Amino acid sequence: MSNVIAIVKSEELVELGALMVDLPQNADGLKVLITRFEGKVRAWINSCPHDGRPLCRDPAFLWEKRKKLLQCMNHQALFNAKTGICEEGPCKGKSLYGLITKEKNNQIIVSKGEPKNG
């Protein structure tokens, strides 16, 4: 069984961009957010640790205004774009659920598993 969740072209994800893809085989209809910050690609389950609602419905609005942190649309929790840890808001100290990413040959591959932070 493959652990690959999604494969997207590198050019589809610009710096400070965000993409949303389906999380395969999940009954809850969860999505995956793929972000690029300081050149590095990261991926997160689109579920807020505050109460499990989606962080966003449109990835164009995932970044807060200064484009330094990720922001939940529900109660505006702010998450570190590198670690996924909530820095401000009702779930301060809790973390987004990250996934493994690899960028190679102009492709971004998102896989199941826990990423190394940073």
Q: Which of 10, 74, 80, 111 binds ligand FES (CB under 6 A)?
A: 74
Q: Which of 77, 96, 99, 110 binds ligand FES (CB under 6 A)?
A: 77
Q: Are 102 and 108 in contact (CB under 8 A)?
A: yes
30-59: contacts with ligand FES (CB under 6 A): 48, 50-51, 53
Closer by beta carbon to ligand FES, 15 or else 51: 51
- Beta-carbon count within 10 A of 111 CB: 16
Q: Is 84 in the site for ligand FES (CB under 6 A)?
A: no
In whole angstroms, give the CA distance from residue 64 to residue 79.
Answer: 10
